[in-house]
A and B are shown apart, each in its own frame.
Chain A
Amino acid sequence: MAELVKLFVNGQEVEVESGKNLIDALRVVGIEIPHFCYHPALGADGNCRMCLVGIEDGRPPLVPACKTPVQEGMKVLLDAEHIKKIQRDVLEFELINHPVDCPVCDQAGECALQDYYMNYSLDDSRMQVAQVTKGKRMDFGCGVVHDQERCVLCGRCVRFTRQITKTGELGIVNRTDAARVSIFPGKPLNNRYALNIVDICPVGAMTSSDFRFRQRVWFLKKDPGICHGCSKGCAIYIDHHREKYKDDVIYRYRARTNLNVNGYFICDDGRLSYAGENENRQTSALADGAVIGFDEGIELVRERLDRARKPLMLISPDCSLEQMWAVQRIATLYGAELSGYSDNYIIDGDGDEYLINDDKAANRRGLELLEIDFSRAQFLTGLQHTDLLVNFNNDLFFGGVDEELKSLLDKTQSIAVCSHQLQVYESASIVLPTASYSEYGGTIINEDNVLQRFEKALFKNEDPKDVLEITRLLGGAINDAPHAWPGIKQSVACLADIDPQAIPAEGIKLQNSEDTNVGA
């Protein structure tokens, strides 16, 4: 815990963390200082002038809050008339050349300019001369669309490409009110994080070609989630909406701040992976290709499992810890061998030094902690000798068809419990639909050993059963995710002290326990 300092805001004493600037420190205690250019990940630039606050007895008496560290005894003025006037004035300058087209602007509803206008101004426009005109609908690459007229020139996007991705595609060219954000001709955005620019743009100047005009943001329900695109486990917001007479669908992911994991940003692959949650879903149970009732499917699976001499279960490395535990239990119940084979989830060289990992498995650490073997050798042997494979949502052909496995799978009776319609499940004689990660809650552990919890975000019209629930229907003893924990805690030393209900939003960094066996 950082040291605390006491200061006064509008005469009221508040206690805040030292070492922070006024914007960040006061935000924690619920005091908002309006700003455009400051972003905690990009530092204080000080150009927008929206965060000017008064300092009583200060030299100078007027300072940008973003550049002013909190100090013991400091007397900050926010609601003094002259400060409120400055906020109105600066806002007026931001708005004079800004198109008044909120009704058709994609940012409406999450626009700082709009919010501040409602909070601090509400003045009528005094701009009676021609506005400055600039470029509209400019394709900046990577799905980023730029509107120079809506831009407030806070420079966050430029700083992002220089400081975070270090790719430097953007610049603010010209000076005066002719200044504008631009790419260099022929050199559009070309990095795997570019869409964060849309998130950090405080106004409607940067929009995503993937999202724009598809949904009004005030209709969106914004639930926290964890990206399952790779073993980084970035914190995200799942923005979804159930339109009347339609199903609950996801419209976008956005970065959610988690300083333990991803900081303020996510990669574009992860961001756009929301589409996978909507598309190509397995929604009905099948027996030999024919649609059957789900309950009927469960019965069939139970029968096959009961009959099987040497069943083999395969679990996805994306499954939650609780799901893995439940599958592990049911494997024991049926005397089945269990594998978490998923070498194909690792794409060598795809990762970078930042947020993208080679390993596309969201919870490989879970497999390791539960000592679920994920070696190819064990899985191949198992597959050669089994008379029934039950695959819990493991895409063995992720990254391409594995011919060796395919020929074995073609010879093996298999059951697929799957969320998506994928080639690997085509050989299954029975298919049971299951929930994908936005449709259940649980915990996963990322490659840096951070345990994070996520909740069910989507509620589909026909809510698919998640893997854990399916194990229960197959006779397992785990009722739900919390119910898995007593066993997990007993079995995994480094989780012994975890209270799953009390995992904070930023997760828990687990101690490395060397006594944990890695898959042989």
Chain B
Amino acid sequence: MEVKILSAKFDIEDAHLIAVAKDHGAYQTLDKLFSMSPEDVINEVKESGLRGRGGAGFPAGVKWSFLPKDLDKPTYLAVNSDESEPATFKDRYILVKDPHLLIEGIIICCYAINCHDAYIYIRGEYTSQVKALQRAIDEAYEAGYLGESVGGHDFRLDVTVHRGAGAYVCGEETALLESIEGKKGQPRSKPPFPAVVGLYDCPTIINNVQTIASLPFIIQEGADAYKAHGTEKSSGTHLFGISGHVEKPGMYELPLGLPLMEVLDRVAGGVWKGRKLKGVIPGGSSTPVLTPEEAKTVSLDYESMAEHKTMFGSGGIVVLDETVDIVKLVENLIHFYHHESCGQCTPCREGLGWMLKIVKKIIAGEGSMADIDLLVELCDNIEMKTVCVLSAACTMPVRSYLNKFRDEFEAYVTDAAS
């Protein structure tokens, strides 16, 4: 079932080194790229249907076309390599195994949007990965693919790695920009959108690593070749991360649109230890959970996920076996989102801490049915009242657990009472 477009060089030894990468096609799109007009590049990407792979799934080419024209300001590219959503670990493979694919993608994007200064925001926890990436960038400078004239063409491009330091919220694109500007990673109110007022108040495009890394294939092989994979509205491939209670967890590149259960069984070896399935988190911890029943009918694309009232998200699939204590899982999730709340907006800052304490109270056997109802209500009261969606990333899945596994919460209350 796997299709290796992004991961084509992952199995090649030392493909992270420029010499080896070039032997296998790295930077070969550049001559074609510079023969195209930037508009043609944008159109090709639009045509490919490539959607942002960070989680929101916004069409990349459309995003680029929001940039204002003829503005007397530089345009910036910020590559989002802050993948921090629990269950998401895909971009890391690109950084380590084929960083030149990312750099080539950055060149394509920058040419298309007329950007000469790109920043890669990489999460601070990626210690060895940042070294691998910086090494590749240094190599690219040395080989003339970055710097004053990219690949010998009349195009300057500087790429700078900006390292995060432990803040999930910086994956939110405006928090990421704030962080590069030397501030706390606190999301900005929108509008204005970054395409108009972004980094250093200049027009800025923010794209995920995987999105950018998809560009060389699209330019080299054409939009149609890309669209040949996936579904009509969810084209191409995706690096799915499968984790949790499966026999063979890991990162797999798959076309979009495959049935979830088939992938879990055939690619990831099925639920581990011969246990039964309790639920599936389909696209990172912020996506509402699917029951085994729901999981049977969903496929791995944006539309099918939406039909099942959940989200494709980052493609980070987590399998929960029958032994999972959902209440404790919810505690684990709220702990995460509370810990990562930037502290800016009142409902998120105060509300998530409150929710966490209520769940702990229930687990301690001190909860009541009213506490369960209060949790549900707090999800409603917090959600969408804030500048960014971090709090919703917590309340949406938590609400799904409260709805679909309410009996487990109630059991804590009744067991304590009896």
Interface 0/1 of A79-100, CB less than 8 Å to B = 0000000100110111011000
Q: Which of B377-401 contact A (CB under 8 A)?
A: 381-382, 384-387
CB pair B353–A177 under 8 Å, yes or no, is: yes
Knowing A62-B384, A89-B381, A93-B351, the reply to whether A152 touches B346 (Cβ < 8 A) is: yes
Contacts of B144 in A (CB 8 A): none
Q: Is A192 an interface residue (CB 8 A)?
A: no
Closest residue of chain B to A48, judged by CB? B346
The range of chain B's interface size is 20 to 34
Is A175 a contact of B343 with CB atoms below 8 Å?
Answer: yes
Cα of A174 to Cα of B358 in the assembled complex, Å: 23
Interface centre among B352, B357, B374 (most CB of A within 10 A): B357
Contact status B341-A175, CB under 8 Å: yes
Q: Mark A41-62, 1 if CB is under 8 A from B, else 0.
A: 0000011111010000000001
When C-beta atoms are compared, the residue in chain A nearest to B380 turns out to be A89
Q: For residue B341, which residue of chain A has the nearest CB?
A: A176
- Please list 19 pairs of residues, one from A and one from B, whose beta carbons are closer than 8 Å in the complex, sorted by A's number: A48-B346, A49-B385, A49-B386, A50-B346, A93-B347, A93-B349, A93-B354, A93-B382, A94-B346, A94-B350, A96-B354, A129-B357, A129-B358, A175-B341, A177-B338, A177-B341, A177-B350, A178-B343, A179-B343
CA distance A92 to B385 in the complex (A): 13
Q: Which residues of the partner chain A approach B343 to less than 8 Å between Cβ atoms?
A: 153, 172, 174-179
Q: How far is the CA of A152 from the CA of B374 in the complex (A)?
A: 23
Contact of B350 among A97, A130, A175 (CB under 8 A): A97
Closest to B185 in A: A175
Residues A13-54 near B (CB distance < 8 A): 46-50, 52
What residues of chain A lie closer than 8 Å to B361, measured between beta carbons? 128-129
B272 to chain A, nearest CB (A): 34
Give 19 new A-B contacts, CB below 8 A, not counting A96-B350, A177-B341: A47-B346, A49-B345, A50-B346, A52-B385, A67-B189, A93-B347, A93-B381, A97-B350, A126-B374, A127-B354, A129-B357, A129-B358, A152-B346, A153-B346, A175-B340, A176-B340, A176-B343, A176-B352, A179-B349
- Provided the pairs A127-B354, A132-B353, A176-B338 are in contact, do residues A86 and B385 lie with their beta carbons within 8 angstroms? yes
Q: Across the interface, which residues of A come within 8 angstroms of B248, CB to CB?
A: none
**A81-126 contacts to B (CB < 8 Å):** 86, 89-90, 92-94, 96-97, 126
Q: Is the CB of A129 within 8 A of B346?
A: no
B342 at the A/B interface (Cβ < 8 Å)?
A: yes
Chain B CB within 8 A of A64 CB = yes
- Chain B residues with Cβ below 8 Å from A62 are 384-385
Asked if B406 is an interface residue, CB under 8 A from chain A, the answer is: no
A34 to chain B, nearest CB (A): 12
Q: Which residues of A contact B357 (CB under 8 A)?
A: 129-130
Q: How far is the CA of A132 from the CA of B184 in the complex (A)?
A: 22
* B233 CB within 8 Å of chain A: no
Q: Indicate if the CB atoms of A47 and B351 lie closer than 8 Å.
A: no
A residues contacting the other copy or chain, number (CB 8 A) = 32
| Closest B residue to A176 using CB positions | B341
Most chain-B CB neighbours within 10 Å: which of A93, A153, A178? A93
Report Cα–Cα, A228/B386, bound state, in Å. Answer: 45
- B174 CB to closest chain A CB (Å) equals 12
B330-345 contact mask (Cβ, 8 Å, vs A): 1 or 0: 0000000011111111
A437–B342 alpha-carbon span in the complex (Å): 49
CA distance A92 to B342 in the complex (A): 19
Q: Is the CB of A90 within 8 A of B167?
A: no
Which residues 136-179 in A have Cβ within 8 Å of B in the complex? 152-153, 172, 174-179
Taking beta carbons and an 8 Å cutoff, which residues of B are in contact with A?
A: 167, 184, 189, 338-347, 349-354, 357-358, 360-361, 374, 381-382, 384-387
- By the criterion CB–CB under 8 Å, are A46 and B189 in contact? yes
Instruction: Give, as a whole number of angstroms, the nearest-CB distance from A421 to chain B.
Output: 52
CA distance A47 to B342 in the complex (A): 11
CA distance A130 to B353 in the complex (A): 10
A126 nearest CB neighbor, chain B only? B374
How far apart are the CA atoms of A172 and B186 in the complex, in Å?
12
Give the complex CA separation of A451 and B346 in angstroms: 44
Residue of B nearest to A171 (CB): B184
Whether the pair B184, A175 counts as a contact (CB closer than 8 A) is yes
Point out the residues of chain A lying under 8 angstroms from B345, CB to CB. Answer: 47-49
Which 8 residue pairs of A and B lie closest in terms of their CB atoms, listed nearest first? A179-B343, A129-B357, A175-B343, A89-B381, A93-B350, A177-B353, A46-B189, A47-B344
Which listed residue (A89, A96, A126, A176) contacts B385, Cβ 8 A?
A: A89
Chain B residue contacts of A89, Cβ below 8 A = 347, 381, 385
Q: How many Å lie between the Cα of A178 and that of B167 in the bound state?
A: 15
Query: Do A90 and B349 contact each other (CB < 8 Å), given the known contacts A96-B354, A129-B354, A174-B343?
Result: no
Contacts of A130 in B (CB 8 A): 357
User: How many Å from the CB of A56 to the closest CB on chain B?
Assistant: 17
Interchain nearest-CB distance for B355 vs A (Å): 10
Measured CA separation A293–B160 after assembly (Å): 83
Closest to B339 in A: A176
**How many angstroms from the CA of A174 to the CA of B353 in the assembled complex?**
14
Assembled-state Cα–Cα distance A97/B343 (Å): 14
CB-CB contacts below 8 Å: A458-489 with B: none
Minimum Cβ distance to chain B for residue A100 (Å)? 15
In the complex, what residue of chain B is closest to A180 when comparing beta carbons?
Answer: B343
Complex alpha-carbon distance, A174 and B342, angstroms: 9
Chain A residue contacts of B374, Cβ below 8 A: 126
Most chain A beta-carbon neighbours within 10 Å: one of B346, B347, B361: B346
Give Cα A65 to B384, complex, Å: 15
Q: Inside 8 A of A92's CB, which chain B residues have their CB?
A: 381
Query: Which residues of the other chain, B, contact A132 by a CB distance below 8 angstroms?
Result: 353
Contact flag A90-B341 (CB < 8 Å), given A49-B346, A49-B347, A130-B357: no
For B184, the closest partner residue in chain A by CB is: A175
- Complex Cα–Cα for A67 and B360 (A): 37
A153 touches B353 (CB 8 A): no
**CA gap between A179 and B361 in the complex, in Å:** 23
Contact B346 A90 (CB under 8 A): yes
CB distance from B84 to the nearest CB of A (A): 14
Q: Which residues of B contact A93 (CB under 8 A)?
A: 346-347, 349-351, 354, 381-382
**Which residues of the other chain, A, contact B342 by a CB distance below 8 angstroms?**
175
For A61, the closest partner residue in chain B by CB is B384
Residues on B with C-beta less than 8 A from A50 are: 346
Contact partners of B344 in chain A: CB under 8 A = 47
Interchain nearest-CB distance for B343 vs A (Å)? 4
Complex contact B338–A175 (CB within 8 A): no
Contact of A176 among B347, B349, B381, B387 (CB under 8 A): B349
Nearest CB in chain B: distance from A215 CB, A: 31
Q: Which residues of A contact B184 (CB under 8 A)?
A: 172, 175
Kindly state the separation between the CA atoms of A96 and B352 in the bound complex, as whole angstroms: 12
Q: How far is the CA of A128 from the CA of B347 in the complex (A)?
A: 17
Task: Chain B residues near A96: list those with CB within 8 A.
Answer: 350, 354
Contacts of A94 in B (CB 8 A): 346, 350
Residues of chain A lying within 8 A (CB to CB) of residue B387:
46-47
B125 → chain A closest CB, angstroms = 16
Max count, chain B CB within 10 A of own CB: residue among A46, A50, A94: A46
Look across to chain A and name the residue whose beta carbon is closest to the beta carbon of B360. A129
**Cα-based distance from A132 to B360 in the complex (angstroms):** 15
Enumerate chain B residues within 8 angstroms of A46, measured Cβ to Cβ: 189, 387
- Please report the C-alpha to C-alpha distance between residue A153 and residue B346 in the assembled complex, in whole angstroms: 8
The residues of A that contact B352 with a CB separation of less than 8 Å are 176-177
User: Among the listed A86, A128, A129, A177, which residue makes an inter-chain contact with B349, where contact means beta carbons less than 8 Å apart?
Assistant: A177
Q: A62, A64, A92, A132: which has the most chain B beta carbons within 10 Å?
A: A92
Q: List B contacts of A179 (CB < 8 A).
A: 343, 349
Q: Which of A89, A94, A179 has the most CB of B within 10 A?
A: A89
- List residues of chain B with CB within 8 A of the CB of A174: 343
Note all chain B residues with C-beta closer than 8 A to A48. 345-346
* Cβ of B418 to closest chain A Cβ, rounded Å: 22
Which of B189, B382, B386, B387 gathers the greatest number of chain A CB atoms within 10 Å?
B189
Whole-angstrom CA separation of A450 from B356 in the bound complex:
57
B residues within 8 A CB of A47?
Answer: 344-346, 387
Q: Give the Cβ gap from A239 to chain B, nearest Cβ, in Å.
A: 30
